[in-house]
Amino acid sequence: MRSTFLMLLVSAGLLLSQDLARTAREFSSLESVLHKSELPSLPESPILEGPVDAAEYILGPGDVLSIIILATPEVRHQLMVDPEGNLSIPNVGTLTVADLSLAEARSKTMNLLRAKYTSREITISLSKLRTFRVSVTGAVYKPGLVTVSGLQRVSDAIDLAGGLKKKLSVLSQTQQTQLDTPVRSEITMKTSQIQEEALLRQNEASQRNIAVQRKHGGRIPVDLLRYQLTGDLDANPFLRNGDVIIVPSRQESGSQIDVNGAVKAPAIFEFAAGDRLGDLLRMVHGFTSDADSSYLEIVRFSGKSSMATTLRVDLTDPQNWQLPLQPDDRLYVRSLAKYHEQSNVEVVGEVLHPGHYAISQKSSHLSEVIAQAGGFTPEASLKNAYVIRRADEDTRDPEFERLKKMNVSEMTVNEREYFKIKSRELIGGMGVDFVALFEQKDFTQDILLRDRDLIIIPAQEQTVKLTGQVVNPGLYIYKPGETLNYYLQEAGGYNWNVRKSKVRIIKNKTGEWMKPDDDTVIEVGDTIFVPEKPERDWWMIAKDLITVGAQMATIYLVIQQAVN
């Protein structure tokens, strides 16, 4: 009985080990299946400017087409156009697709497949772009062959060739000397200036007269500047196998078009064959808002003549936008006179709402703007208010500008007097009496305002200023009706070295210097100037008097002798 139990136990162990081994093999098999079912990595996505246009893309050797036929069983092909331009489809046949558009090749391939397969579900797509080489010659930094794809344009090939040459003038050159000794190794630098007549110059590449020479003939113009300014893709075409890109140097003179006036980006452009009026207007981004877009003037030379004529072109006629241009044409777009002219004045100081106010030229009066500003505050000093005209044509004084450049010693008496008066004058100050206008209703003072006028309403001043040779110079509280003598007493009287005969009152509003007496009434804001006596060298004065006396005595003796 015991032996039977042991045999059953051994048999159960063997069966268990076999099951474990089988489970391990199945797990390993499942793991391998899972690894095999991983999706293959996708090819790197090309850089595209948008979906491929089947009508524009031209096939060539190296392009890969994907063909899917939903039949039983399903048929899938990844086929490359061979170097001879043919596409070989297994079990179907061969057809030539080079130099056909993708749309044409798709139609041709579809016809061939439908002769073999009855399925209507056939898909043909471009799965990989070919690469090929084109030649870039002329004014680029690295002329030669560059590798491109069928969806790259002329500008891409030029960039791969180092880009267009820029205008360059070399003003100096640097020479290097390598010094090697057992002790050290160093490079010495020596810079030499090149004389003006020996300048090394590099011509600038043309941006508008580039051409693409096709392998099978034909020459396509390329205008990269028009492409950059307007986004016109026709001016920057796609590349094809065997293309040769020719980049000439820009012609410096005799081949330009100047667009000026009321356009958004005035410029001088290199002339390109086939230029039309509309092309240039788009390149300057159209008209400004103040342009008179109804017409345009073209100043044009006639043949080899140096005489120019002016053509007036009606831009309201769409056909005129196709007008061919000629080298050295100058285009002028005029602005509308006084278009949305904005005129404003500024009010500062003691009004309820200081700031800028819009006016109508030749119709807005001073009183109207003050009313818009809410009127005066209680602290406003109408007596000291004034208007400054800041228009250049009214404030510019050519004579005063001339005198400012001269030394005073070079001026005549009249010129010095004029210069002194103008130096004290408030530039642009208008002769307006605010008290007469706003308190006495004298509307002869209600002047017409102009653009940029500044209206200043100061606060009422409460002080009088004493300066110069008084005991306590400074500011003193203004008292209406008080005289010069009152303020002198407030300041402690004159100093010991005062020059009383030269005391002057400087009026606050006009800056005028007045000669006062003791009873002259001082107004608010006035300045009382008390000068000091000039220093005198009495010994020198005595010497001068003695000299003059001796000279007069000599003259007297000479005359006396002559009479006798």
The reply to whether 384 falls in a domain is yes
> Does an H or E element contain 65, and which?
strand 64-69
What's 292's domain CATH number?
3.10.560.10
Which CA distances in Å does 487 have to 242, 474, 479, 496?
A: 102, 11, 9, 18
Mean pLDDT score, 6-35: 49
Residue partners of 146: CB distance under 8 A and separation at least 6: 133, 134, 136, 157, 160, 161
3-state DSSP percent of the chain in helix, strand and coil, to 5:
30, 30, 40
Q: How many domains does the chain have?
A: 5
Beta bridge partners of 358: 344
Question: Do 419 and 357 belong together in one domain?
Answer: yes
Residue 337 is predicted with a pLDDT of 85
**Which residue, of 297, 314, 333, is where some domain finishes?**
333
Place of tokens 């800056």: 511
The reply to whether 18 falls in a domain is no
Mean pLDDT score, 172-195: 63
Name the residue with higher pLDDT: 181 or 13.
181
Residue 144 is predicted with a pLDDT of 95
Please answer whether residues 255 and 275 qualify as being in contact, where contact means their C-beta atoms are separated by less than 8 angstroms: no
The reply to whether 538 falls in a domain is no
Residue 180 is predicted with a pLDDT of 67
Question: Do 111 and 137 belong together in one domain?
Answer: no
How far is residue 256's CA from residue 299's CA, in Å, rounded to a whole number?
Answer: 13
Residue partners of 535: CB distance under 8 A and separation at least 6: none
pLDDT tens digit string along 202-253? 778 999 999 999 988 889 999 999 999 999 999 999 998 889 999 999 876 6
Question: Do 275 and 380 belong together in one domain?
Answer: no
pLDDT tens digit string along 290-305? 999 999 999 998 877 7
> Does an H or E element contain 53, and which?
none
- Pairing state of beta strands 256-261 and 330-333? parallel
28, pLDDT greater than 70:
no
> Does an H or E element contain 91, and which?
none
pLDDT tens digit string along 313-341? 999 999 999 999 999 999 999 999 888 87
How far is residue 258's CA from residue 261's CA, in Å, rounded to a whole number?
Answer: 10
On average, the pLDDT of the chain sits at 82
Residue type, 443: F
Residues of the chain with pLDDT > 70: what percent? 82
Question: Do 383 and 438 belong together in one domain?
Answer: yes
How far is residue 120's CA from residue 118's CA, in Å, rounded to a whole number?
Answer: 6
478, pLDDT greater than 90:
no
Residue 533 is predicted with a pLDDT of 79
Residue type, 195: Q
Report the range out of 3-7, 175-179, 204-208, 485-489 with the highest average pLDDT: 204-208
- DSSP states along 278-339: HHHHHHTTSB-TTB-TTEEEEEEE-TT-S-EEEEEEETTSGGGGGPBP-TT-EEEEPBPTTT
**Which residue, of 333, 368, 386, is where some domain finishes?**
333
The reply to whether 51 falls in a domain is no
The whole domain housing 515 covers 463-530
How far is residue 6's CA from residue 240's CA, in Å, rounded to a whole number?
Answer: 86
What's 203's domain CATH number?
3.10.560
Residue 36 is predicted with a pLDDT of 42
* SS3 of residue 517 by DSSP: coil
Question: Do 107 and 143 belong together in one domain?
Answer: no
Name the residue with higher pLDDT: 209 or 52.
209
pLDDT tens digit string along 456-475? 998 887 888 888 888 888 88
The reply to whether 21 falls in a domain is no
Q: Cα torsion at 484, 490, 492, 497 (round to 10°)?
A: -20
pLDDT tens digit string along 116-138? 888 778 888 888 888 899 999 99
394, pLDDT greater than 80:
no
Question: Do 349 and 408 belong together in one domain?
Answer: yes
Residue 21 is predicted with a pLDDT of 52
Mean pLDDT score, 346-370: 91
How far is residue 325's CA from residue 278's CA, in Å, rounded to a whole number?
Answer: 10
What's 125's domain CATH number?
3.30.1950.10
**Which residue, of 221, 247, 273, is where some domain finishes?**
247
pLDDT level of residue 374 (50, 70, 90 thresholds) = very high
Beta bridge partners of 462: none
The reply to whether 292 falls in a domain is yes
Residue 167 is predicted with a pLDDT of 81
How far is residue 400's CA from residue 423's CA, in Å, rounded to a whole number?
Answer: 9
Question: Do 396 and 469 belong together in one domain?
Answer: no
pLDDT tens digit string along 55-106? 888 898 988 999 998 877 888 889 999 988 899 988 888 899 988 888 999 9
pLDDT level of residue 345 (50, 70, 90 thresholds) = very high
pLDDT level of residue 398 (50, 70, 90 thresholds) = confident
Question: Do 230 and 139 belong together in one domain?
Answer: yes
Question: Do 300 and 359 belong together in one domain?
Answer: no
pLDDT level of residue 22 (50, 70, 90 thresholds) = low
How far is residue 481's CA from residue 523's CA, in Å, rounded to a whole number?
Answer: 8
- Pairing state of beta strands 295-301 and 144-149? unpaired
Question: Do 241 and 153 belong together in one domain?
Answer: yes
How far is residue 105's CA from residue 107's CA, in Å, rounded to a whole number?
Answer: 5
Task: For residue 306, give both structure tokens.
Answer: 């140096």
pTM: 0.60
222-225 long-range Cβ contacts below 8 angstroms, 24+ apart: 222/154, 223/272, 224/154, 224/155, 224/158, 224/164, 225/269, 225/270, 225/283
Place of tokens 């069966």: 15
Question: Do 353 and 319 belong together in one domain?
Answer: no
Question: Do 169 and 226 belong together in one domain?
Answer: yes
Residue 32 is predicted with a pLDDT of 46
Cα R_g (the chain), whole angstroms:
48
Task: For residue 396, give both structure tokens.
Answer: 């510019």
